[in-house]
Amino acid sequence: MERWKGRIISDPNICSGEPCIAGTRIPVWVILSHLAAGDDLETILENFPRLTKEDIKACLEYATYLAMEKAIPA
């Protein structure tokens, strides 16, 4: 389930630490917003030629990981 590790990085020197796809300056949220808007994989790959299908899947896996995190009650 954590195949996204290594593909998604967070570096304070790249996009102010926003989680990005490794080797790019493309934040994960940008890809997720394209998917949410209804863009298919082929359209995203055309718009971001440096990406692979595995990169897009890693964004979804990363989002799933974040959604599964448990909040600590106040």
| pLDDT tens sequence across 17-62 | 999 999 999 999 999 999 999 999 999 999 999 999 999 999 999 9
- Answer whether residue 16 shows pLDDT above 90: yes
| pLDDT tens sequence across 63-72 | 999 988 776 6
What are the chain's domains?
8-64 (1.10.10.10)
| pLDDT tens sequence across 52-65 | 999 999 999 999 99
Please, is 4 exposed, middle or buried when counting C-beta atoms within 10 Å of its C-beta (0-12, 13-18, 19+)? buried
pTM score, whole prediction:
0.87
DSSP-derived secondary structure for 1-58? --TTBTTEE--TTSGGG--EETTS--BHHHHHHHHHTT--HHHHHHHSTT--HHHHHH
